[in-house]
Structure 1
Amino acid sequence: MTTSNAPAKSLGHVLITGGCGFLGHHIVNLLHERHPLTRVSVLDLRTTHNRNSSPNISYYDSDITDSEASKALFAKLKPDIVIHTASPPFNGKNELHYKVNVEGTKSLLSAAQENGVKAFVYTSSSSVVCDPKSELINANETYPLITGDAQPEYYTTTKAYAESAVLSANRHPSNFLTCAIRPAGIFGEGDVQLLPKMVTAYHKGQTKFQVGSNDNLFDFTYVQNIAHGHLLAVSALLQTHKMLPTVPLDSERVDGEAFFITNGQPVYFWDFARAVWREAGDTLPMSSVWHLGEDFAFTVGATLEWLFWLMGKTPNLTRQQVRYSCLTKYYSIEKAKKRLGYRPIVNLDEGIRRGVGYILEQQKKAAEKKGQ
């Protein structure tokens, strides 16, 4: 299977939910770059941001939790392919997570099944196999989903439920094919969670602290690599669709399957943070870095959470952040390599350069605007 970036023929009509969001708009842009003749419909709650001006790309304000509205829109648009990236923020309310991630996904599946969609690619999460204590070393897709009481992050439980619904819908009807992409540690231009917090820490002079011994490998993935993985999945499902009703060998199958997508470059957690800080301008030598023990940092985090809770605020250091920065979590991408032909197209250093550069440019523009 080719991974060429050269423009290719139209894929038909691709509908992308959450296509104005962080990952979604990168998928829209990469899809247009590689397949400029493809008709693209973008669905989002609000489609005012991250718009592509191509005449082949249309935008629709839509709430995927409105089942009847989704079915009416699908009946009107008749897409061939659905890439479903829409999801609320990780720190949103539980009821919203369930409503969007579970009910919204099932609504889209129903609309797709009723309107002749050939391929449905769902953006899941690598966290669906994570629990709060176990380390993940080269974890693969045979690992069980962690949900319910065993999963402290309700967002992750709902992503797992949605993934299960998507994969269970595969070949129902027989010409409806589905798969799921599980990104890990996504970052890049437009990132609202990972890089902005790290760059803010640099501006606040917080780079002199490190939690733990920094011996835990972690996966971070540049956003364009994840977009690339989604498009490879689309192509693979369309190829399988052409061969229906044949079922591929288990060792080759894409439909009904989940795939981890990472940069394939696990790094020590604080090495990544310091690479981000260096790109932002940090010159602090390692000899000046204060190392906080994990247990001590956990206690500090708990104390800060309680104090800030009294003030109705969130501290810069929480117990969750301490756990996050001290656990080993990285994944195998061998399945994606073998079945999707996946290879990262942007390495980690270049991804950091692009992502941090984007933030600094936005900050520069904001400062200039404020100074006018």
Structure 2
Amino acid sequence: MVYTSSTTILKPPYHFNDETKPLIDLNSNSDFNYYTVTKAIADIAVLKSNNLKGLRTCCLRIAPIYGKHDVQMIPGTLGVLQEKHHHSQIGDNTALMDFVSVSNSSRAHVLAGKALLKELRADDSPNENTHHKIAGEAFFITDGNPVHFWDFAHKVWAAAGTTVDRKDIRVFPAWFMIGLAVVTEWIYWMCTFGTVMPEKLRSHTMRYITEDRTFSIEKARERLGYRPLDDVDENIKEGVEWAVRERLELAGLRRD
């Protein structure tokens, strides 16, 4: 069993972390995020289930995915363009982030599945001390090439036909936007008794795009034979084309 986990389940800071880094505190209410918490719970459960009645498991902790059939990263970035907010930038764009293309993510899942089967055939009770153990292990999966968040966003917009001159960009300090988001969340919380939160101006989102989020893939390289392809531009292009087609189809305007 190969579970698709997430890099978001680790405790901060997120600077070139490996799989020994502890996960988030599930009992903490600080910056609570349902996606992150449920991913962490599932990650723990899957790894604990390894060797249960012969089951072999591993977790792939995937970086944010982009490319064809991506329904979050590229569509969300295109949404900023559609709302004409692409001349605004939060933070100084020094934070590095790891992403992973759809093709690299898919390849990693195939490699993990094959590795589990190979390990199972080799030994029904794998040596817990073996350096190349797969079952019961977690692996970070990224492109292996961290980029600055806003550089990535501008690549997406360029693929959609829009380039932004750097001199036309309005930069809002990270500390200001994080503080504004925290105040806004408190206002929402007080006015709605915690039943409604801001849709976009969230403190965890502001931190997400202004802090380093990089991860080591050495374990995946060594044990799974994972070798990410340098296909960033092609995957962005395919992702943008697919997202635009989907948007037109939903609007009833698609022309094949």
- Same-fold call, TM > 0.5? yes
**Cα contact 2:61–2:139 (8 A) shared by 1:** yes
Residue 89 of structure 2 aligns with which residue?
210
- Contact (CA 8 Å) 2:245, 2:254: kept in 1 or not? no
1:268 alignment counterpart: 148
Alignment map for 1:349-364 (pairs within 5 Å):
349-364=233-248
Matched AA of 1:285: D
Report the Cα offset of residue 251 of structure 1: 1.4
CA contact (8 A) 1:196 1:359 kept: yes
1:238-277: CA deviation from partner (whole Å, max 9, x where unpaired) = 1111112352553111011011111111101111111111
Q: Give runs of aligned pairs for residues 1-372 of structure 1, distance below 5 A.
A: 120-130=1-11, 134-150=12-28, 152-173=32-53, 175-245=54-124, 247-248=126-127, 250-302=130-182, 305=185, 314-345=198-229, 347-366=231-250, 369=253
Are residues 279 and 341 of structure 1, via their aligned partners in 2, closer, same or farther at CA, if it must alter by over 3 Å? same
Give 3-state SS (helix, strand or coil) of 2:240's partner: helix
CA RMSD of superposed structures (Å): 2.5
- For structure 1, the 5+ residue unaligned runs are 1-119
Name the CA distance, whole Å, in 2 between partners of 1:149 and 1:185: 25
Give per-residue Cα distances to partners, 1:98-119, cap 9 Å, x unaligned: xxxxxxxxxxxxxxxxxxxxxx
Tell me which amino acid in the other structure corresponds to 2:207. R
3-state SS of paired residue (2:57): strand
> Following TM superposition, by how much is the alpha carbon of 1:357 offset from its aligned partner in structure 2, in angstroms?
1.6
2:67–2:237: 8 Å Cα contact kept in structure 1?
Answer: no
Bigger drift between 189-198 and 206-215 goes to: 189-198
Gap change, CA 1:142 and 1:313, over 3 Å in 2 = closer
Distance 1:219 1:200, change over 3 A: same
TM-score normalised according to structure 1 size: 0.61
The separation in 1 between residues aligned to 2:110 and 2:94, in whole angstroms, is: 34
**Comparing both chains, which one has the higher relative contact order based on Cα–Cα distances under 8 Å and sequence gaps of 6 or more?**
2
Identical-pair percentage: 36
**Shift, 1:153, TM fit:** 2.2
Separation in structure 1 between the aligned mates of residue 135 and residue 173 of structure 2, nearest angstrom = 45
Report the secondary structure of 1:149's partner residue: coil
- Deviation of 1:280 after TM superposition, in Å, equals 1.4
Shift of 1:345: 3.5
- Cα contact 2:5–2:60 (8 A) shared by 1: yes
SS at match of 2:15: strand
TM-score using structure 2 length: 0.87
Contact kept, 8 Å, 1:129 with 1:146, in 2: the verdict is: yes
Unaligned runs of 5+ in 2: none
Question: In the aligned structure 2, how far is the partner of 1:370 from the partner of 1:144?
Answer: 46
Q: Return the alpha-carbon distance in structure 2 between the equivalents of residues 142 and 207 of structure 1.
A: 37
Cα deviation code 1:66-96 (max 9, x no counterpart): xxxxxxxxxxxxxxxxxxxxxxxxxxxxxxx
In the alignment, the residues of structure 2 paired with residue 149 and residue 124 of structure 1 have an alpha-carbon distance, to the nearest angstrom, of 19
For the 8 Å contact 1:225–1:346, the answer to whether it is kept is no
Deviations 1:158-193 (A, max 9, x none): 2222222221221223x3211111101122222222
Which deviates further from its counterpart, 312-321 or 179-188? 312-321
- Partner of 2:59, secondary structure, is strand
Q: Which moved more, 1:268-277 or 1:188-197?
A: 188-197
Aligned length: 248
Superimposed CA distance per residue, residues 195-225 of structure 1 (whole angstroms, 9 cap, x where no aligned partner): 1121011122111111111111001111221
Larger Rg: 1
Counterpart contact for 2:62–2:140, Cα < 8 Å: yes
SS of alignment partner, residue 250 of structure 1: coil
